[in-house]
A = this chain, B = another copy of it.
């Protein structure tokens, strides 16, 4: 019979008697002490932290605790066995709270628009990380290959792989695993540059459990999708604001923060966002953290720099040189992302300092790179990126729009989450209607709602062509603290108990943002000697949720005035492209090709950009010929508007 030992859990002084050698995670369960954990005792998530106060234990070394913490007696419950009577403290961070999902519940809205990628995408299904079940022949004196060569032979019988590699840990584990499992095992193969790595071995057939997470690391929003690599389905999705926001709304501010302080802080913060998203996804689904073998990130160039710890400083300074636009696959754990400790993390290739991997993903997802006709992709995020081209050539540029269209930096703005006003109409100049995501009481206005609102205020004549609110027009337009504002929802109807308004500075930000994007589109078209008419289709992408009113985007002059059927709202193409690349090695290769092939057009070098930007700062534009289809109820004199502008601070990004 095993020796019994006592474990006392502080601060609640719960006592339990267990067999010597029991692990503390088990002991806590027996004692009814609830300790946090996501991985279920696999030693991956690092959440079951305890502090050893007295007694001897045997604990496995882990990178999830710092040296300082180890010095202070921190241990992981699931990695520690009790040797004698012990006293441990459950620190605040380990006490299990009511299961609270740290991120929004509305991420379903961010799901890729193409639910059945398998059929629609012209790539062969071949995920970056694959599992393969093998039943090996037992060795004999006449068939005495080494375990390692035997494994490779069996893998190559099923799949021709020219170069394979595996780390020491995997090879070390091979002989026991084979013999304990009657020579039936599952190997996990991961693409790693030009070679395939045997990243994991498991006993028996576990091919049914193979998951990945694809992540869009945006400046404002981080979105994660949990993918079943066998069925190609998105099991669940989650989104959160990028916590780097406290270091600056805009990329440039964050880079400056990193220069003046600690680059690593920005990595830690976004990695923690990613871990929270993954925690939420595995908590809700039945997927084990340990079965997530791959992560693929798309994001703008600066976000990928922060994530991987590359110094982003030169991204913001002429001649705008990134450290690296096609990062190598690494182990997720290298940057602190907690999935299977041998799981790989891929980053899609970027294009230039200001055109990121999210755009490479967008080009892949929309198929622009293989289009016969001239196609345009406009991705509206904190920056606006524009790509134009077809299967022969591609040119792209970037415009600093600011985060207004993501609902950030706008007084009552919010992400496209539950309670966000996403549609607005003002009928006959007075009857205001709006709908919210989830039909909840309104909490704020998201990007698509803001576009609607500006368009409707303009159509109703509440703002003029320069975007100026006319205080005389309506009683809902009022002045507060010296600034005009329009009350969309009075306090008594809002979920916040406060008026939901759009202020004159909000409108100015939004008009500036659309002007920046439109000016970029216009210059790009012009410099290629093209006309809007030449564009066969415009894909409009961005994290707007499921809805964007193309007509209203046209009304405010955000996009070129083309027949509506030639404009397509495609949602978050970054995450869509990331998912396709995760499911197909061929698609990932295509991303590298896209990144190499595309030409980056630097607007900064274009002397007309400021003029174009100024002209686009009107609704829909100074040059109404560009928007023949926009029926403007009241078009004030452009001259007057220009005069008004001069008296104002011009602003800028």
A-to-B contact residues, CB < 8 Å: 61, 67, 70-71, 139-141, 143-149, 162-168, 171-172, 174-176, 192-195, 308-311, 313-314, 318-328, 330, 334-335, 352-353, 600, 602, 604-605
How far does the Cβ of A152 sit from chain B's closest Cβ, in whole Å? 9
Q: A172 contacts B323, CB within 8 Å?
A: yes
Q: A323 contacts B146, CB within 8 Å?
A: yes
How far does the Cβ of A585 sit from chain B's closest Cβ, in whole Å? 14
- CB contacts (< 8 Å) of A143 on chain B: these are 319
- CB contacts (< 8 Å) of A335 on chain B: these are 168
Q: A147 contacts B322, CB within 8 Å?
A: yes
Q: A323 contacts B195, CB within 8 Å?
A: no
Closest B residue to A324 using CB positions: B148
Closest B residue to A152 using CB positions: B326
Closest B residue to A66 using CB positions: B61
Q: What separation, in Å, do the CA atoms of A634 and B195 have in the docked complex?
A: 66
Q: What separation, in Å, do the CA atoms of A257 and B225 have in the docked complex?
A: 50
Q: What separation, in Å, do the CA atoms of A318 and B139 have in the docked complex?
A: 10
- CB contacts (< 8 Å) of A310 on chain B: these are 171-172, 175
Q: B176 contacts A319, CB within 8 Å?
A: no
Q: A319 contacts B144, CB within 8 Å?
A: yes
- CB contacts (< 8 Å) of A334 on chain B: these are 168
Q: What separation, in Å, do the CA atoms of A309 and B168 have in the docked complex?
A: 8
Q: What separation, in Å, do the CA atoms of A167 and B280 have in the docked complex?
A: 30
If A71-B70, A176-B311, A195-B193 touch, whether A147 touches B328 (CB-CB below 8 Å) is no
How far does the Cβ of A348 sit from chain B's closest Cβ, in whole Å? 14
- CB contacts (< 8 Å) of A164 on chain B: these are 193
Q: B321 contacts A163, CB within 8 Å?
A: no
3 smallest beta-carbon distances between A and B, as pairs = A163-B194, A148-B324, A141-B319
- CB contacts (< 8 Å) of A326 on chain B: these are 148-149
Q: What separation, in Å, do the CA atoms of A586 and B325 have in the docked complex?
A: 33
Q: A141 contacts B605, CB within 8 Å?
A: yes
- CB contacts (< 8 Å) of A171 on chain B: these are 308, 310, 323-324, 327-328
Q: What separation, in Å, do the CA atoms of A145 and B319 have in the docked complex?
A: 10
Q: A323 contacts B602, CB within 8 Å?
A: no
From A149, A318, A330, residue with most partner B Cβ within 10 Å? A149
Q: B311 contacts A144, CB within 8 Å?
A: no
Q: B328 contacts A146, CB within 8 Å?
A: no
- CB contacts (< 8 Å) of A322 on chain B: these are 146-147
Tally of this chain's copies: 2
Q: A175 contacts B61, CB within 8 Å?
A: no
- CB contacts (< 8 Å) of A149 on chain B: these are 324-326
Q: What separation, in Å, do the CA atoms of A175 and B322 have in the docked complex?
A: 9
- CB contacts (< 8 Å) of A325 on chain B: these are 146, 148-149
How far does the Cβ of A277 sit from chain B's closest Cβ, in whole Å? 22
Q: What separation, in Å, do the CA atoms of A172 and B258 have in the docked complex?
A: 14
Q: What separation, in Å, do the CA atoms of A174 and B166 have in the docked complex?
A: 27
- CB contacts (< 8 Å) of A70 on chain B: these are 67, 70-71
Q: What separation, in Å, do the CA atoms of A424 and B330 have in the docked complex?
A: 61
Closest B residue to A350 using CB positions: B146
Q: B141 contacts A174, CB within 8 Å?
A: no
- CB contacts (< 8 Å) of A192 on chain B: these are 165
Closest B residue to A308 using CB positions: B168
Q: What separation, in Å, do the CA atoms of A602 and B140 have in the docked complex?
A: 12
Closest B residue to A67 using CB positions: B70
- CB contacts (< 8 Å) of A323 on chain B: these are 146-148, 171-172, 174-175
25 A-B pairs in the complex with CB atoms less than 8 angstroms apart: A67-B67, A140-B319, A141-B602, A144-B320, A144-B352, A144-B353, A145-B321, A146-B323, A147-B323, A147-B324, A149-B324, A149-B326, A162-B194, A163-B193, A165-B193, A165-B194, A165-B328, A168-B328, A171-B308, A172-B308, A174-B324, A175-B313, A175-B314, A175-B321, A195-B195
Q: What separation, in Å, do the CA atoms of A34 and B314 have in the docked complex?
A: 44
Q: What separation, in Å, do the CA atoms of A311 and B173 have in the docked complex?
A: 9
Closest B residue to A335 using CB positions: B168
- Taking A167-B330, A168-B330 as known contacts, 13 extra A-B pairs with beta carbons closer than 8 A to each other, sorted by chain A number, are A144-B600, A144-B602, A146-B321, A148-B323, A148-B325, A148-B326, A168-B308, A171-B310, A172-B310, A174-B324, A175-B321, A194-B194, A195-B195
Q: What separation, in Å, do the CA atoms of A139 and B318 have in the docked complex?
A: 10
Q: What separation, in Å, do the CA atoms of A282 and B172 have in the docked complex?
A: 32
Q: What separation, in Å, do the CA atoms of A61 and B65 have in the docked complex?
A: 13
How far does the Cβ of A408 sit from chain B's closest Cβ, in whole Å? 28
Q: B328 contacts A166, CB within 8 Å?
A: yes
Closest B residue to A174 using CB positions: B323
- CB contacts (< 8 Å) of A168 on chain B: these are 308-309, 327-328, 330, 334-335
Q: What separation, in Å, do the CA atoms of A140 and B139 have in the docked complex?
A: 61
Q: What separation, in Å, do the CA atoms of A582 and B320 have in the docked complex?
A: 41
Q: What separation, in Å, do the CA atoms of A139 and B309 have in the docked complex?
A: 22
Q: B141 contacts A318, CB within 8 Å?
A: yes
Closest B residue to A61 using CB positions: B67
- CB contacts (< 8 Å) of A602 on chain B: these are 141, 144
B71, B309, B321: the one contacting A144 at CB < 8 Å is B321
Q: B167 contacts A328, CB within 8 Å?
A: yes
How far does the Cβ of A63 sit from chain B's closest Cβ, in whole Å? 11
Q: What separation, in Å, do the CA atoms of A145 and B172 have in the docked complex?
A: 41
B146, B194, B318, B324: the one contacting A324 at CB < 8 Å is B146
Q: What separation, in Å, do the CA atoms of A61 and B69 have in the docked complex?
A: 14
How far does the Cβ of A255 sit from chain B's closest Cβ, in whole Å? 13
Q: B141 contacts A309, CB within 8 Å?
A: no
If A141-B318, A144-B319 touch, whether A311 touches B67 (CB-CB below 8 Å) is no
Closest B residue to A195 using CB positions: B194
- CB contacts (< 8 Å) of A166 on chain B: these are 328
From A163, A192, A319, residue with most partner B Cβ within 10 Å? A319
How far does the Cβ of A299 sit from chain B's closest Cβ, in whole Å? 15
Closest B residue to A170 using CB positions: B328
Closest B residue to A171 using CB positions: B324
Q: What separation, in Å, do the CA atoms of A209 and B193 have in the docked complex?
A: 29
From A61, A164, A195, A328, residue with most partner B Cβ within 10 Å? A328
How far does the Cβ of A527 sit from chain B's closest Cβ, in whole Å? 15
How far does the Cβ of A46 sit from chain B's closest Cβ, in whole Å? 16
